[in-house]
């Protein structure tokens, strides 16, 4: 239902990850190559990054390809931890900036690529929108990212049709889950990329198996099978 990307490493321009690659999020907004559900991601976008430890965001309900202001500024935005996403809204869900990932609790930036029945998610005053992804993000923040694996498995048990690809960063770490959709990892000399799909044809991209937790700490990438696998 969406495409997302995370970066952890040396500070790089946001544009180098989101706009410049031949099959980056900009292209994935209108022509994703590996998306299983939906054809386009034109219902909004968001970019979050850490600036001296402070989580900052730029979100929109418009298609990424139409935002010339972001395109002009993105080369000047540099960070060592970035979480970005383009959105394909679930039918019936509102299209508004607050519904676009990444969501935040002030410490983490979080994106959800997937779908979950809102009836299995508790209502939370910290949810930024009424969409399923925002409610799921609020639950994860309430439970703590240390419990991401358990929270993912519990939500999946409550909604067997859920797709729960989560991606989160806190400035020094990336966490991700695969549950029903694709995720790939690229280890570069200057850092690590996690992405719903490769942004180029580099043979170094590796696909993450379904129903796994991914932890990126520095240059170390650890994969752990999730409960229910």
Mind listing the pLDDT tens digit for each residue in 116-156? 999 999 988 889 999 999 999 999 999 999 999 999 999 99
pLDDT range class, residue 1, cuts 50, 70, 90: low
pLDDT range class, residue 37, cuts 50, 70, 90: confident
Task: Please give the share of the chain, as a percent, with pLDDT higher than 70.
Answer: 99
Cβ contact 6:184 at 8 Å: no
pLDDT range class, residue 16, cuts 50, 70, 90: very high
Place of tokens 């809204």: 89
Overall average pLDDT of the 203-223 stretch: 97
Strand, helix or coil for residue 120: helix
pLDDT tens digits along 83-121: 999 999 988 888 999 999 999 999 999 999 999 999 999
Model confidence at 228: pLDDT above 80: no
**CATH number, domain with residue 35:** 3.60.20.10
How far does Cα 128 stand from its chain's mean position? 16
Name the domain count of the chain: 1
How far does Cα 183 stand from its chain's mean position? 10
* pLDDT given for residue 197 in this prediction: 97
Cα separation, 153 vs 56, whole angstroms = 29
Cβ contact 26:64 at 8 Å: yes
- DSSP-assigned beta bridge partners for residue 163: 115
> Is residue 2 annotated as a catalytic residue, yes or no?
yes
Overall average pLDDT of the 170-186 stretch: 98
pLDDT range class, residue 227, cuts 50, 70, 90: confident
Overall average pLDDT of the 46-62 stretch: 97
Overall average pLDDT of the 197-208 stretch: 98
Question: What does residue 158 show for φ and ψ, rounded to 5 degrees?
Answer: -75, -30
- Residue 26: in which H helix or E strand, if any? helix 25-28
Model confidence at 53: pLDDT above 90: yes
Closest among 45, 56, 49 to 85, alpha carbons compared: 45
Cβ contact 87:99 at 8 Å: yes
Model confidence at 229: pLDDT above 70: no
Model confidence at 38: pLDDT above 90: no
Q: From the candidates 2, 5, 85, 174, which is the catalytic residue?
A: 2
Model confidence at 61: pLDDT above 70: yes
Could you list the residue range(s) of the whole structural domain that residue 26 is in? 2-225
* pLDDT given for residue 36 in this prediction: 82
Cα separation, 16 vs 84, whole angstroms = 12
Cα separation, 122 vs 128, whole angstroms = 14
Overall average pLDDT of the 5-30 stretch: 98
* pLDDT given for residue 83 in this prediction: 98
Q: CA angle at residue 88 from 142 to 66, to 5 degrees?
A: 115
State the average pLDDT for the chain.
Answer: 96
């Amino acid at each position: 239902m969406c495409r997302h990307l995370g970066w952890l490493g040396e500070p790089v321009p946001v544009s180098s990850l989101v706009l410049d690659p031949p099959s980056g999020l900009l292209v994935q907004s209108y022509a994703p190559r590996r998306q299983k559900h939906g054809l386009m991601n034109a219902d909004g976008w968001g970019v979050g990054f850490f600036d001296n430890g402070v989580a900052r965001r730029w979100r929109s309900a418009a298609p990424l390809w139409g935002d010339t202001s972001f395109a002009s500024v993105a080369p000047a935005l540099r960070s060592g931890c970035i979480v970005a996403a383009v959105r394909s809204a679930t039918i019936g869900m509102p299209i508004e900036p607050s519904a676009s990932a990444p969501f935040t609790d002030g410490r983490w930036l979080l994106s959800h690529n997937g779908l979950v029945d809102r009836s299995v998610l508790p209502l939370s005053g910290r949810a930024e929108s009424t969409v399923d992804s925002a409610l799921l993000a609020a639950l994860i923040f309430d439970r703590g990212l240390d419990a991401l694996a358990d929270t993912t498995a519990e939500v999946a048990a409550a909604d067997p049709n859920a797709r729960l690809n989560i991606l989160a960063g806190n400035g020094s770490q990336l966490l991700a889950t695969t549950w029903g959709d694709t995720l790939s990892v690229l280890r570069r000399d200057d850092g690590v990329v996690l992405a719903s799909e490769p942004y180029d044809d580099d043979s170094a991209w590796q696909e993450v198996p379904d129903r796994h937790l991914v932890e990126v700490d520095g240059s170390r990438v650890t994969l752990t099978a999730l409960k229910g696998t």
